């Protein structure tokens, strides 16, 4: 649609809202904002509520707090998406190799881009976070290339998941963190190691940690409600990415992350901290 006003196309407000909400990628949402004061008989009449349309992700004309609008992904949650990737045309590859993927400074384009957009792909199998409308390839490129994000980028950088299945990073991503593929990176695709596809983290599959897992990693997975050194399990825990996307938390992950206490850093040993070790300790009376 060209132009700024839907009325130029003889569209009512209801028609315009229907067009946005029927977007196949489900990029938009509706909010009802209640007014504390309203003046129906003033020259510029106001109403008891406003109907506001917003975007889950995309070009923004105002600063949006991503931690409020979207879900903050932990490392293990991000690894449960499948391969995370950005799709572009082959003719853009040389520029990306030189400069990486960059956000646009506000005002440099059509409203600017405040985040780098990624997609993900999996088979919606057990343990994986379901795919949504935004996880479908955005357009038909003549020669698409898929820039798959290396898991090492997830360690020290915060990614966000939107309701329609788009992964956002609010910053620039150097090319060194990408693996270039010319086919859709399904979970069977060899991205990191030859002969091996994508694999879920052991916290999801087996209720345990990698042998090189750090205490800080565990702190992020558990969330701020856990107190180090306390044997108490908090009554309220953080919302997971599975719940954010309308799924149940994988049983092993839930038991390990939210069913066991958080020890002090000096006492942490990822080789023994598992749901099976904790169950043995409980049976022995420790």
Three-state SS for 79-105 is CCCCEEEEEEEHHHHHHHHHHCECCCC
Question: In the beta sheet, which residues pair with residue 118?
Answer: 167
Residues 208 and 173 grouped into a single domain: no
Distance CA 181, CA 283 (A): 50
Question: In the beta sheet, which residues pair with residue 54?
Answer: 29
| 75 within some domain | yes
Residues 31 and 119 grouped into a single domain: no
Residue 6 DSSP symbol? G
Three-state SS for 113-177 is ECCEEEEEECCCCCCCCCCCHHHCCCCCCCCEEEEEECCCHHHHCCCEECCCCCEEECCCECHHH
pLDDT at site 178: 97
Instruction: Note down pLDDT in tens along the chain; length 286 residues.
Output: 445 556 566 666 666 666 555 655 445 555 565 666 666 665 555 666 655 555 555 444 444 555 567 899 999 999 999 999 999 999 999 999 999 999 864 544 454 567 899 999 999 999 999 998 777 765 677 899 999 999 999 999 999 999 989 999 999 999 999 999 999 999 999 998 888 899 999 999 999 999 999 999 999 999 999 999 999 999 999 999 999 999 999 999 999 999 999 999 999 999 888 876 655 455 555 5
pLDDT at site 105: 46
Residue 181 DSSP symbol? E
User: By the 8 A CB rule, do 65 and 80 touch?
Assistant: no
pLDDT at site 140: 73
Neighbours of 79 (CB within 10 A): 21
Residues 21 and 88 grouped into a single domain: no
Beta strand pairing call for 83-89 and 71-72? unpaired
> HSE of 161 in the Cβ direction (CA atoms, 13 Å)?
28
Residues 31 and 70 grouped into a single domain: no
| 138 within some domain | yes
CB-based contacts of 35: which residues, under 8 Å, 6+ apart?
46, 47, 48, 49, 50
| 257 within some domain | yes
| 188 within some domain | no
| 262 within some domain | yes
Task: From 14, 31, 55, give the residue that closes a domain.
Answer: 55
| 193 within some domain | no
Residues 83 and 164 grouped into a single domain: yes
Token readout for 51 is: 């109907």
pLDDT at site 139: 66
Residues 132 and 226 grouped into a single domain: no
Can you give the residue range of the structural domain that contains 92? 66-181
| 116 within some domain | yes
CA distances from 167 to 7, 44, 163, 276, 284 (A): 34, 41, 10, 33, 44
Task: From 152, 181, 210, give the residue that closes a domain.
Answer: 181
Residues 174 and 80 grouped into a single domain: yes
Question: In the beta sheet, which residues pair with residue 34?
Answer: 49
Distance CA 7, CA 16 (A): 9
pLDDT at site 46: 62
Residues 94 and 172 grouped into a single domain: yes
- By the 10 Å C-beta count (0-12 exposed, 13-18 middle, 19+ buried), 85 is classed as buried
Token readout for 183 is: 């086919």
Residues 20 and 84 grouped into a single domain: no
Distance CA 73, CA 165 (A): 12
pLDDT at site 27: 53
Instruction: Say what the pTM is.
Output: 0.75
For 160-171, b/e burial (b = at least 16 CB within 10 A) is: bbbbbbbbbbee
User: By the 8 A CB rule, do 222 and 258 touch?
Assistant: yes
pLDDT at site 74: 98
Residues 91 and 169 grouped into a single domain: yes
CATH number at residue 151: 3.20.170.30
Residues 117 and 161 grouped into a single domain: yes
User: By the 8 A CB rule, do 78 and 159 touch?
Assistant: yes
Q: How many domains does the chain have?
A: 3
Residues 10 and 94 grouped into a single domain: no
| 191 within some domain | no
User: By the 8 A CB rule, do 200 and 75 touch?
Assistant: no
């Amino acid at each position: 649609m060209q132009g700024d006003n839907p009325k130029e196309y003889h569209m009512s407000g209801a028609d315009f809202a229907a067009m946005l909400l029927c977007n196949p990628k489900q990029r938009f949402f509706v909010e009802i904002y209640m007014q504390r004061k309203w003046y129906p008989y003033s020259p510029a009449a106001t109403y008891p509520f406003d109907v506001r349309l917003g975007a889950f992700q995309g070009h923004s004309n105002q600063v949006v707090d991503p931690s409020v609008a979207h879900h903050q992904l932990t490392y293990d949650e991000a690894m449960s998406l499948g391969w995370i990737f950005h799709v572009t045309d082959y003719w853009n590859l040389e520029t990306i190799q030189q400069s990486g993927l960059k956000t646009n400074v506000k005002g440099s384009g059509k409203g600017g881009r405040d985040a780098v957009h990624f997609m993900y792909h999996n088979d919606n199998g057990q343990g994986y976070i379901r795919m949504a409308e935004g996880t479908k390839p955005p357009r038909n490129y003549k020669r698409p290339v898929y820039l798959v994000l290396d898991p090492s980028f997830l360690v020290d950088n915060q990614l966000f998941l939107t309701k329609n299945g788009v992964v956002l990073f609010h910053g620039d991503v150097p090319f060194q963190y990408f693996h270039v593929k010319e086919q859709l990176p399904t979970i069977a695709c060899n991205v990191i190691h030859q002969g091996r596809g994508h694999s879920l983290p052991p916290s999801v599959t087996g209720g345990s940690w990698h042998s090189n897992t750090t205490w800080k990693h565990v702190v992020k997975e558990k969330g701020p409600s856990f107190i180090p050194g306390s044997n108490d399990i908090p009554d309220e825990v953080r919302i997971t990415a599975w719940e954010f996307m309308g799924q149940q938390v994988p049983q092993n992950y839930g038991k390990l992350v939210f069913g066991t206490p958080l020890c002090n850093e000096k006492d942490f040993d990822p080789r023994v901290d598992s749901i099976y070790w904790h169950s043995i300790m409980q049976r022995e009376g420790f």
